[in-house]
Amino acid sequence: MVDVSQHELVPDHTVVDDEEIEDVLEEYDIKKTDLPKLQRLDPAAPDEASVGDVVRVTRDSRTTDQAVVYRLVVD
């Protein structure tokens, strides 16, 4: 079986801790549900991610080196 999460085009997905979530929510003045979503069964979602977690996606970018996106795990 191919593990797509190991493919070079799949960016890094990491579950973030509550403290970081708080920082993000405060920075953008939003509720957790205002974040973009990530399905729990998404092949790129980390195994340990459960519904309600927030995942940080760090993508390589030609223009900014790294683009960081936070996503809320939903089912």
Judged by beta carbon, residue 6 or residue 63, the one nearer another protein is 63
Q: Rounded to 5, what percent of the chain is helix, strand, coil?
A: 25, 35, 45
Least distance (Å) between residue 12 CB and another protein: 15
Segment interacting with another protein, rule: CB under 8 A, options 7-15, 32-40, 41-49 = 32-40
Beta pairing class for 54-61 and 12-15: antiparallel
Kindly state the number of chain residues that form the binding site for another protein, as judged by CB under 8 A.
Answer: 18
DSSP state of 17: -
Task: Work out whether 67 is an interface residue with another protein (CB under 8 A).
Answer: yes
Give kind and range of the element (H or E) at residue 4.
none
Both tokens assigned to 24: 């993000």
Positions in the binding site for another protein (CB under 8 A): 28, 30-31, 33-37, 59, 61-64, 67-70, 74
